[in-house]
Amino acid sequence: MSRGTVSRASQLFLPTLREDPAEAEAASHRLLLRSGCVRQVGAGLYAFMPLGWRVYKKVEQIIREEMDAIGCQEMLMPLLTPAELWQRTGRYEINELFKVSDRADRPFVLAMTHEETITFLAREISSYRQLPQLWYHFGLKERDEPRPRAGLLRVREFVMKDSYSFDRDQEGLDVSYAKHAAAYRAAFDRLGLRYYEVESDTGMMGGTGAHEYMAPCEAGENDVARCEACGYAANVEVAASRPTAPDLPQRRNAPEEVETPGATTIESLAALLGIDPRATAKAMPVVGPDGQLVLGLVRGDHRLHELKLRKVLGGDFRPAHPEEIREAFGADGGSLGPVGVSLPIVADEALREGWYVTGANRNGWHLLGVEAGRDFEPGTWADIREAQAGDGCPRCDGTLSVEPAIEVGNIFKLGTRYSEALGATYLDEAGVERPIVMGSYGIGPGRTLAAIVEQCHDDRGIVWPAQIAPYDVHLVEIGAAGPEAAELADLVARECAAAGLSVLLDDRDQRPGEKFADADLIGCPVRVTVGKKALEDGQVDVKRRASGEEARVPASQVAAAVSGAA
RNA sequence: CGGGGUGUGGCGCAGCUUGGUAGCGCGCACGGUUCGGGACCGUGAGGCCCCCGGUUCAAAUCCGGGCACCCCGACCA
What value of ipTM does the predicted structure carry?
0.89
pLDDT at A268: 79
- Of all nucleotides, the one whose C1′ comes closest to residue A530's CA is B36
| Nearest-nucleotide field for A162 (CA, C1') | B77
> Which of A91-100, A231-240, A253-262, A372-381 is predicted most confidently?
A91-100
- The region, left, alpha or beta by phi > 0 then psi within -120 to 50, assigned to residue A281 is beta
Q: Indicate yes or no: strand B within 7 A of the C-beta of A533.
A: yes
Residue A511 contacts strand B, CB under 7 A: yes
Highest mean pLDDT among A172-176, A274-278, A280-284, A370-374: A172-176
Taking a C-beta distance cutoff of 8 angstroms, is the pair A406, A201 a contact? no
- Rounded to whole angstroms, the distance from the CA of residue A482 to the C1' of nucleotide B36 is 13
| CA separation for the pair A95, A303 (Å, rounded) | 28
**Among all strands, which nt has the closest C1' to A521 (CA)?**
B38
Output the distance from A535 CA to B42 C1' rounded to whole Å.
Answer: 35
At a CB cut-off of 8 Å and minimum separation 6, what does A75 contact? A135, A136, A137
Q: Is strand B in 7 Å reach of the CB of A270?
A: no
Asked if A300 and A280 count as a contact pair (C-beta separation under 8 A), the reply is yes
Q: Which nucleotide is nearest to A145 (CA to C1')?
A: B76
pLDDT of residue A447: 95
pTM of the model: 0.87
Chain A residues 273 to 332 whose Cβ lies within 7 Å of strand B are 306
Q: Are strands A107-110 and A98-101 parallel, antiparallel or unpaired?
A: antiparallel
Q: How far apart are CA A562 and CA A65, in angstroms?
A: 25
Higher pLDDT: A326 or A550? It is A550
Mean pLDDT of chain A: 88
Instruction: State the pLDDT confidence band at A565, using cuts at 50, 70 and 90.
Output: low
- Is residue A206 pLDDT above 70, yes or no? no
For residue A433, what pLDDT band results from cuts at 50, 70 and 90?
Answer: very high
Task: Indicate yes or no: strand B within 7 A of the C-beta of A112.
Answer: yes
State pLDDT tens for residues A397-422: 888 888 899 999 999 999 999 999 99
Cβ of A470 near strand B (distance < 7 A): no
Rounded to the nearest 5°, which phi and psi values hold at A151?
Answer: 65, -125
Nucleotides of chain B touched by protein CB (<7 A):
1-2, 6, 11-13, 25-27, 34-39, 68-77
Q: List strand B contacts in A 158-197 (CB < 7 A).
A: 160, 162
Q: Using the CB atom, is residue A440 less than 7 Å from strand B?
A: yes
* Start-to-end Cα distance in chain A: 14
pLDDT given for residue A2 in this prediction? 65
The three-state secondary structure class of A442 is strand
Taking each helix axis from N to C end, the angle separating A445-455 and A170-191, rounded to the nearest 10 degrees, works out to 40
Residues A23-60 have pLDDT tens digits of 888 999 999 999 999 998 888 999 999 999 999 999 99
For A293 and B44, how far is CA from C1' in angstroms?
Answer: 73
Q: How confident is the model at residue A204 (pLDDT cuts 50, 70, 90)?
A: low
Strand B atom within 7 Å of A478 CB: yes
Which residues, at least 6 apart from A354, have a Cβ–Cβ distance to it below 8 Å? A246, A248, A279, A371
Query: Measured from the CB, is A91 under 7 Å from any atom of strand B?
Result: yes
Rounded to whole angstroms, how far apart are CA atoms A366 and A360? 4
Rounded-to-5 percentages of helix, strand, coil across chain A: 30, 30, 40
* Mean pLDDT calculated for residue range A468-475: 96
Query: Is strand B within 7 Å of residue A143 (CB)?
Result: yes
Q: Which 8-state DSSP code applies to residue A419? A: H
Can you tell me whether residue A460 is helix, strand or coil? coil
Q: Which nucleotide is nearest to A510 (CA to C1')?
A: B35
Whether the predicted pLDDT of A1 surpasses 70: no
* A320 CA – B3 C1', rounded, Å: 21
| Nucleotide nearest residue A442, measured CA to C1' | B77
CA distance A112 to A209: 21
Put residue A522 in one of left, alpha, beta given phi > 0 → left and psi -120 to 50 → alpha.
alpha
Cα separations in angstroms, A215 against A159, A240, A358: 18, 20, 40
Q: Which of residues 6-65 of A touch strand B (CB under 7 A)?
A: 16-23, 25-26, 29, 40, 42-44
- CA A460 to CA A543: how far, in whole Å? 15
Question: How confident is the model over A170-195, as a mean pLDDT?
Answer: 95
At A334, the pLDDT band (50, 70, 90 cuts) reads confident
**Distance, Å, A41 CA → B41 C1':** 39
Among A93, A86, A132, residue whose Cα is nearest residue A421: A86
Question: Each residue of A531-548: pLDDT tens digit?
Answer: 988 888 889 999 999 999
Question: Which of A196-205, A250-259, A467-476 has the highest mean predicted lDDT (pLDDT)?
Answer: A467-476
